[in-house]
Amino acid sequence: CNTLDNKMPQIELNDASTRFYDDVMRGLSATPKRLDSKYFYDSVGDKLFQDLMNCDEYYPTNCEMEIFTQQTAELAKAIVGSGDAFDLIELGAGDATKSSHLLRYLIQQQADFTYLPIDISENVISYLNITLPVTLPGIAIEGLQGDYFDMLKKAAAISGKRKVVMFLGSNIGNMPVDDAHGFVRVLRDHLSAGDMVLIGVDLKKNPKTVLAAYNDKEGITKRFNINLLSRINRELGGNFDVDKFDHYPTYDPETGACRSFLISLADQQVTIGSEVISFKKDEYIYMEISQKYAIEQVDAMANATGFKPVAQLTDSKQWFVDAVWVA
Ligand code: AVJ
């Protein structure tokens, strides 16, 4: 039952936009206000995230790339096991820049595997289906577009082989610790004994280093956050005046929670469709969490969720870990 239906904007909304609209209205009607960072990634947001990965301060991508390029054999060894056939599934594959190093190595080693990238974006999946067979000759690839867990079920129905699930880039950090445990437990429920997970997790480090990564001098992170307001304007008929919001990034070294907020610079009213949302001056919208973990917490997460830790590969600065777990 959807009580928001009669207030929907006049523009035609498909299922995905309806969910977007419902989530936005729920978040902005709550106290305190919040938006969901999973909506950062429209085409403008994708581009801003690309820019972020290339900026000086944003270290996680470079750290994980170092692991994938410098410790490829170790990664392969941890997941290949006894040399049986397996499905290598990647949740949120993006352009597969990091994983392609592992894929190339596995092909060279004549490992018997199929690469199954799962992404919510049809663009991502058709791009990978077309480009990977060219850049990685000999790859067996079957891209799956859709929700992670729906597609995991589908993958299981297709093959029944052992599964290795990659979840890279510290995407797990976009959930608070409890939710992350819940997510990993659901992932475990979709796997069988002997299946594996290769998960990338950003680690606690000098708080100034963390904060700088989410407060870059060029202001890309700010634009990345503000873009969600612009997206609401574009797709849901909103009228946010984006100049009346400031970006407030935070990092708490005790909990490892790195959170970003947008702060209203004035008492103001914003309309979305026919709904009016009021902001007080200095009121915040909670936008994103990028949780950082102590390395012991990564093993603890595995143990708490039905996995056993198998290996931990860190970059040379020990800022990031790719952990391998077995179900
Ligand atoms: C893609 C979710 C891992 O949280 O570090 C980058 C997104 N947010 N800068 C992260 C992001 C702000 C990123 N993840």
ipTM surpassing 0.90: yes
Q: Is 45 in the pocket of ligand 1 (CB under 6 A)?
A: no
Q: Is 249 in the pocket of ligand 1 (CB under 6 A)?
A: no
pLDDT at position 158 is 81
pLDDT at position 239 is 98
pLDDT at position 5 is 55
CA of 176 to the centre of ligand 1 (A): 13
Q: Select from 49, 175, 226, 289 the residue to mutate for testing ligand 1; criterion: most ligand atoms less than 8 Å from CB.
A: 49
Q: Are the C-beta atoms of 247 and 211 separated by less than 8 Å?
A: no
CA of 269 to the centre of ligand 1 (A): 29
pLDDT at position 121 is 82
Q: Is 64 in the pocket of ligand 1 (CB under 6 A)?
A: no
pLDDT at position 10 is 60
Q: Is 48 in the pocket of ligand 1 (CB under 6 A)?
A: no
- List beta partners, residue 255: none
Query: Closest ligand 1 atom to the C-alpha of 290?
Result: 4
CA distance 84 to 205: 38
pTM over 0.90: yes
Per-residue pLDDT of 219-238, as tens digits, reads 999 999 999 999 999 999 99
Per-residue pLDDT of 7-66, as tens digits, reads 666 666 778 889 999 999 999 999 999 999 999 999 899 899 999 999 999 999 999 999
Q: Are the C-beta atoms of 324 and 295 separated by less than 8 Å?
A: no
Question: pLDDT below 70 — which residues of the chain?
Answer: 1-12
**Residue 82: CB partners within 8 Å, gap ≥ 6?**
none
